[in-house]
Amino acid sequence: MATSMLKTPLNVFHRHHSHFSFFSNGTGAKNTLPVSQKRKSRLFPVVSMAATPVQTFLEKSTPSNLHTGVPIMVNACTGKMGKAVINAAEAAGVHVVPVSFGCEEESGRTFQIGEREFLVHGPSDRESVLASVLDKYPNLIVVDYTVPSAVNGNAELYCKVGVPFVMGTTGGDRDLLHKTVEDSKIYAVISPQMGKQVVAFLAAMEIMAEQFPGAFSGYSLQVLESHQASKVDASGTAKAVISCFNKLGVSFDMDQIKLIRDPRQQLEMVGVPEEHLSGHAFHMYHLTSPDDTVTFEFQHNVCGRSIYAEGTVDAVLFLAKKIEQKDHKRVYNMIDVLREGNMR
């Protein structure tokens, strides 16, 4: 679903004196919002090359149209984003190899996703499995939607084996992530936000911040972001927008973001449709002038995951093209993908 500037329920941004009731310190508002416990980390140690049954599984599972489309390996294929990417990739004619990395409990098991079976590998054989898959599919691109704690370790693995990748996972040490990839000379698309329309909005914000620095000097900012309870970190998109507002002269720290992870609050205060509690991204930014006479509101609401999955497929196709062209630039983001001008 594309980003939309959907009207927010009045009970979210109802004014009380000069502040929103949701953000106020009064008794009617909660100052501390619960954040769900972190999911089990999918970060596994890199191990030496070892014998693995992956080659046999690939031979049994490889379809007759092996050489059609770009081959991709979707890690965390049993996750909601993994499944969404697999569906979007197959709809676009991209060949998804039937192998993935997962947690220890999933290791050695096969999972039915759509009409195909995927063999999941755990901690003990990631490096050997990835090398084996790359050997069979020399043009392989890995898609990573795991967890924040796995970002840097996974990137190190991909760079060590020498496989290009699209990183949609948020969090981790982003500076280290970029350095790891740049030092390895591997091709990669790295973006905490894969939704094309949301990225276009971010690009517009960056242009405004660059061309009109200080335009909102003295304004106060309030930020609310709501995601499914399984999202443990603050939104990378919200952080990017806030960085733009900082350049525009607004003083705001990232730890001031109001994270909404409680389903009841999402239903009653944010207005998230019940059927999308398990997968949504609602962002609200409210600016107020120093004398409280002027306000600006920015909002983008996303229900479901199709917008991110489709953007990920675009990033894969973009990266495959750059690799084929032997482009001198090797690390890209979704702005680069948008600028290519070939969005489906």
Positions annotated as catalytic residues are 227, 231
Helix, coil or strand: residue 260: strand
What region, left, alpha or beta, does residue 76 occupy, with left being phi > 0 and alpha being psi -120 to 50 degrees?
A: left
DSSP string, 10-43: TTTS-EETTEETTT--STTS-SS---PPPPPP--
Segment holding 112, helix H or strand E: strand 110-113
The residue behind tokens 């972001």 is 225
124-157-132 Cα angle (round to 5):
65
* Spatial separation of the C-alpha atoms in residues 275 and 284, rounded to whole Å: 20
Is 160:127 a contact under the CB 8 Å cutoff? yes
For the chain, what's the residue count? 344
* Spatial separation of the C-alpha atoms in residues 257 and 264, rounded to whole Å: 19
Residue type for position 23: F
* Spatial separation of the C-alpha atoms in residues 80 and 76, rounded to whole Å: 9
Rounded to whole angstroms, what are the CA distances from 232 to 93, 117, 235? 33, 29, 9
The residue behind tokens 């596994």 is 44
Rounded to whole angstroms, what are the CA distances from 157 to 43, 90, 113, 144, 275? 11, 26, 25, 12, 37
233-236-239 Cα angle (round to 5):
105
* Spatial separation of the C-alpha atoms in residues 32 and 267, rounded to whole Å: 18
Copy the structure tokens of residue 160. 């060590």
The DSSP bridge pattern shows strands 258-260 and 188-190 to be unpaired
